[in-house]
Homo-oligomer: A and B are copies of this chain.
């Protein structure tokens, strides 16, 4: 490969950093890849940082010292976040989503690759600070998995999925019983015993919170594992019950039900889109 020009190096640096959010690449990695001096790469990184910030494309953080280098952290502008969430709300308001029993069909929204990427980036940005260090993202099957996966990817940490059944193929489990806040039914959650190291910080991610039973169940699982909850993030929450089973969580969209004219009432939670 012939020696690259500055604009070529910059394109390559952007691709490499953004492909692996929250992964630190050393200056040496780039000096070897491009056969360039450290000072050259440092100047490239200054330009990369500037573009990212000016165009609200994310944040590039440079880390000083021997183990230093640079990493990309998902960071959307406020306008971009609101635009995305408004778009999801608009999609959610389609009348054909109302199912018998007044349930809302929303699987296509939860599995949409563009939406899930954006939602994962919003959650990951919020927990990318080093002092809130997250070690794992935890969800419970099934519908929250895509969002949780994208959050884990944004944070560059493993995803752990709690199951509703005890699968023999996955070895010894820890299980807890919990009451579903919305149906009042007793449910069980299983997690592989060795999936999470003691003393870790766990970010809980789920698609929907009504009473908060699943989230509460996951916090119990976290404390059984002798770990700490770093935070709870859900895409949707409901206006009732206003008192949830967990105290603190972040929701991006509030679902207020279906009104007398059959309109689906969903609104962005602006305070969580700063």
Contacts and interface: CB of A to CB of B under 8 A. Distances in A.
Given A10-B11, A157-B113, A158-B112, A171 B1 contact: no
A168 interface: yes
Given A15-B57, A145-B146, A149-B149, A158 B113 contact: yes
A152 B105 CA distance: 20
State how many copies of this chain the complex holds. 2
Nearest to A111: B159
Contacts of A20: 114
Nearest to A44: B7
B161 A8 contact: no
B163 A51 contact: no
Most buried by B among A107, A145, A146: A107
Contact of A55 (B12, B149, B195): B12
A4 B51 contact: yes
A113 to B, nearest CB: 4
Interface stretch (A95-103, A214-222, A223-231, A253-261): A95-103
A141 interface: yes
Interface in A84-109: 96, 99-101, 103-105, 107-108
Contacts of A112: 158-159
Contacts of A158: 108, 111-113
22 contacts: A1-B55, A8-B50, A8-B51, A14-B18, A15-B52, A15-B57, A16-B57, A19-B117, A20-B114, A99-B170, A99-B171, A103-B170, A105-B170, A108-B158, A108-B195, A111-B149, A111-B152, A111-B158, A111-B161, A113-B153, A113-B158, A142-B161
Closest 9 pairs between A and B when the two form their complex, measured CB to CB? A99-B171, A113-B153, A7-B7, A111-B159, A103-B169, A11-B51, A14-B14, A11-B14, A146-B149
Interface of A: 1, 4, 6-8, 10-16, 18-20, 33, 47-48, 50-52, 54-55, 57-58, 96, 99-101, 103-105, 107-108, 111-114, 116-117, 141-142, 145-146, 149-150, 152-153, 156-161, 163, 168-172, 192, 194-195
Given A11-B51, A14-B15, A113-B149, 13 more contacts: A6-B7, A10-B11, A12-B51, A14-B18, A15-B52, A15-B57, A15-B58, A19-B57, A19-B117, A105-B194, A107-B160, A111-B160, A113-B159
